[in-house]
Structure 1
């Protein structure tokens, strides 16, 4: 029995339904708290939530979870749009995977970024979680469309490609972000990497078989019959008929008629 179905059969009852929607709601709550606080209080509040490896080692273990609730954007309009988009993605993923697998996907991300932060002090940006959810949704529903500014339709595979391109450009500008970005997307690579590689291998096998088949095909100028007298083949005249003589040589119907007439 595969590992994930086995885990789901044992621990599926502990899964939290709508976990992505819950995270999005908490991000909005944190945004609201920051908006009503003074700048100094808001800064202290965010520091209280962030994943600080030193503070975690001193017993502030809540930071292992609360850093996920820090919104990626503190503009109210964009935060609301982002939260609604994230909730929509969460519903789609849960309909495709079920609550347990969505939980496992998010927990895998949290473990990866937490280890990166604790061991190497890499940033644990909640934006990476949003991106991995977006990439997962686009992999499962590549042709699903959204409307940019409620007008321009665009498929999710292109949204994901644009997001990946922007992240790659960011890494090219700041090479120190390479490993944090890779770790921040490790759950996506683990979830979809094997399927992607097997699909590429299958396509390569199909291409190889097609190439072997085409190379094994008989060339178009190959003939099967040739008259031993006039040297014509069925390619020269499709109406010719060939017979085998007692000698084993072939003769076409025209030369046979000439012989009979002669």
Structure 2
């Protein structure tokens, strides 16, 4: 977490604001192209490593324009959904973190395409990787951030995001098991991106052994206080219920979050 925050402070100013707006526009263009001719994407824009190495470097960018559905109604719903999920994630995470999540996923898939090409050669060009699984992982990230958000399936059936995410994971795992190598790599790298990003942005200090011990000691100290009281002196045992004029302070030199009344704050023996 600290390492990621250092990177954010240094490179955060370069983050693209409203990234999902640009990505949605790119997807819309890709959908429009697919309506004209479905072969255009595969012939000129797909992540074909053999052609990229031959000089068609624009494919490193245009491959994200993949349109998984040619039905105008469902494509419009997916575009609105992706835009809504992405913009909400960016609002909560910040532009830099959302940028990292998306671009890290794209980079993983590009690396995966090169690995497939190194293993299978030009045969890997017959089924190029697409960003479809990565786009779906946006929903997974959203469900983790807003687990109790309610979605309406077919605009009627209400279901919380965490349950939809569970169903999505089951479908992805099943697709990974029965799918070919392209599907396995696409799903695996998209989920790997989600896992790495999640681990990279957690505050691990919160669950460090030292902090856990401190929390346990504090809870034990709270349990020792008389019912209904908030403060208790570790020396005389008096609480604010014994004398409402007493003032209580914590001692920074004592271990265990011990609290003392004003009479013993400066006269007690420090606990080490």
TM-score of the aligned structures, taking structure 2 as reference length: 0.66
CA shift for structure 1 position 189: 0.9
Deviation at 1:27, TM superposition (A): 1.0
Moved over 6 A (4+): 196-202
Q: CA deviation at 1:201?
A: 10
Q: Does 1:192 align with 2:188?
A: no
Alignment of 1:113-262 (within 5 A): 113-121=109-117, 123-174=128-179, 176=181, 177-193=183-199, 195=202
Structure 1 range deviating more: 102-111 or 7-16: 7-16
- Let me know the Cα RMSD of the aligned residues: 2.8
Q: Pick the structure with greater CA Rg.
A: 1
Structure 2 distance, partners of 1:134, 1:100, is: 18
Aligned residues of 1:49 and 1:67 also touching (Cα < 8 A): yes
Offset of residue 200 of structure 1: 10
Deviation at 1:139, TM superposition (A): 0.7
Residue-by-residue CA offset, 1:122-176 (whole Å, 9 max, x unaligned): 7422211112211111111111111112111111111111111111111222263
2:8 is the alignment partner of 1:3: no
Q: Per-residue deviation at 1:193?
A: 4.2
Do the aligned partners of residues 43 and 178 (structure 1) sit closer, same or farther apart at CA in structure 2, a change above 3 Å counting? closer
Contact preservation (8 Å) 1:146, 1:153: yes
The residue aligned with 1:16 is 16
Normalized against structure 1, the TM-score is what? 0.69
SS in 1 for 2:198: helix
Q: 2: distance between equivalents of 1:147 and 1:163?
A: 15
In structure 1, list runs of 5 or more residues that go unmatched.
Answer: 210-262
